Structure 1
Amino acid sequence: MKLSASPLALNLGAFLLLIGLVYTGLMTSDRTTWLMEVTPVILIVPLLLATHKRYPLTPLLYTLIFFHAIILMVGGMYTYAKVPVGFDVQAMLNLSRNPYDKLGHFFQGLVPALAAREILVRGGYVSGRKMTGFLVCCIALAISATYELIEWWAALAMGQGADDFLGTQGDPWDTQSDMFCALLGALFTVFILGRVHQRQLIRLLN
């Protein structure tokens, strides 16, 4: 029996994300920053809907993409440095900055790593668990580095107007810590989610 997300579940998830986009877009005080943050959601969700029948993904991957999209929308609405729950965590752990953006970068490593694993395993592009784990971490880091380059280009183009998009909060090592969080997310995929994901892949393909 094949395991895949049902069309009903997929459409419901897409509908909830659409509501989230509308709500956060209306409630944000900085629509330019919001748009920059949620652009991945706007691009990827229609793509997933269009390819569901031809190339369905595992329920695990669809679920994590859904939660990543929510993280992006909330970060876009408030800007990452000002998300209220981040201030609560900051006070609870006595941190020097709002850590919400690190959650976003953790998922920026976790979700692309899982997607890369799914594509590599299903396509038979690589053999061996260790090599697969190594490659998905490399891909996740490459995506994280590309995003940091986009932030750099935004800073050059917008000047001070890019501060909310960058969300560095005065941290000179923000880029490095962002990529480290992405690496942690990729490693979480490899060592924690790998077995569950493999079982779902087997059921999806059989």
Structure 2
Amino acid sequence: MHTSKHSKIHLTLLAIVSIVFIWSVIKPAAYLDWLAEVSPAVIILCIVITTYNKFRFTTFSYCIIALLSILTFIGGHYTYSEVPLFNWIKEEFDLHRNNYDRFGHFLKGLSAIVVREILLAFTPLTKGAWLSGITISIVLAIAALYEIIEWLSTKISKGGKTSKDFLGMQGDKWDAQWDMSLAFVGAVLTLVIFSKIHDKLLKNK
């Protein structure tokens, strides 16, 4: 019964993510930009789905994966610099930029829980400082890799509109550093706030 209940929640999350994905592919701002933005999330989702019967994450981790996927699909549909809600916030508070990408990179720090769970399941690491340090390092490495991919996209397309939309700097030369810093802060806060809760969920997995 316990497993069945969790499976229903997981299927519900998958259904919600699938609906948002289908919506995102309908008349996005630019199909090439959409493809570049959503591809990493689609790849991760495919891996999670195909390995579901072999390895189950906690429902908490699945919620995080679903949330981050939805954020990516929304960003891919509008481009990160043109998400309507954050355009409204920009105008309402007289900000210099649309901060959806900053918000998204901060929330990507939540992936620390997923990384932590993988490390506990497949490495000799145990709960403690080493686990937290390596988890944060992996989140930072992923954030840095993403920034490198964004940079390479501008070189391959020679600075075309699609690559500029994908890069989403909005005139800020420190955009990559901001993105990585926010992912770092998000990961640290995630581990501080949720590690004990995560440990309890792992016991009841």
Structures share fold, TM-score greater than 0.5: yes
Matches within 5 A, 1:11-160: 11-111=11-111, 113-158=112-157, 159-160=159-160
Q: Following the alignment from structure 2 to structure 1, what is the Cα–Cα distance between the partners of residues 65 and 27? A: 23
| Structure 1 unaligned regions, length at least 5 | none
| Structure 2 unaligned regions, length at least 5 | none
Is 99-108 or 56-65 further displaced after alignment? Answer: 99-108
Q: Following the alignment from structure 1 to structure 2, what is the Cα–Cα distance between the partners of residues 186 and 4? A: 31
Alignment identity in percent?
Answer: 33
Q: Following the alignment from structure 1 to structure 2, what is the Cα–Cα distance between the partners of residues 125 and 148? A: 30
The answer to whether the aligner puts 1:183 opposite 2:184 as a matched pair is yes
Is 124-133 or 141-150 further displaced after alignment? Answer: 124-133
Deviations 1:24-50 (A, max 9, x none): 111312011011111122212222122
- Checking the alignment, whether the CA contact within 8 Å between 1:109 and 1:144 is kept in structure 2 is no
Task: Determine the structure 2 residue equivalent to 1:194.
Answer: 195
Letter in 1 for 2:113: L
Root mean square deviation of aligned Cα: 1.9
**Alpha-carbon spacing, 1:157–1:56, altered in 2? closer, same or farther (3 Å):** same
Larger RCO: Structure 1 or Structure 2 (Cα < 8 Å, ≥ 6 residues apart)? 1
**Alpha-carbon spacing, 1:81–1:70, altered in 2? closer, same or farther (3 Å):** same
Q: Following the alignment from structure 2 to structure 1, what is the Cα–Cα distance between the partners of residues 126 and 69? A: 31
Q: Following the alignment from structure 1 to structure 2, what is the Cα–Cα distance between the partners of residues 143 and 5? A: 32
Across the two proteins, how many residue pairs are aligned to each other?
A: 203
Deviations 1:156-197 (A, max 9, x none): 011223110011000010010000011011112210111111
Is 114-123 or 131-140 further displaced after alignment? Answer: 114-123
**Alpha-carbon spacing, 1:52–1:5, altered in 2? closer, same or farther (3 Å):** farther
Shift in Å, 1:92: 4.3
Large movers: runs of 4+ above 3 Å: 1-5, 91-94
TM-score by length of 1: 0.91
Shift in Å, 1:2: 6.8
Q: Following the alignment from structure 1 to structure 2, what is the Cα–Cα distance between the partners of residues 191 and 3? A: 28
Q: Following the alignment from structure 1 to structure 2, what is the Cα–Cα distance between the partners of residues 108 and 25? A: 22
- Checking the alignment, whether the CA contact within 8 Å between 1:144 and 1:179 is kept in structure 2 is yes
**Alpha-carbon spacing, 1:70–1:117, altered in 2? closer, same or farther (3 Å):** same
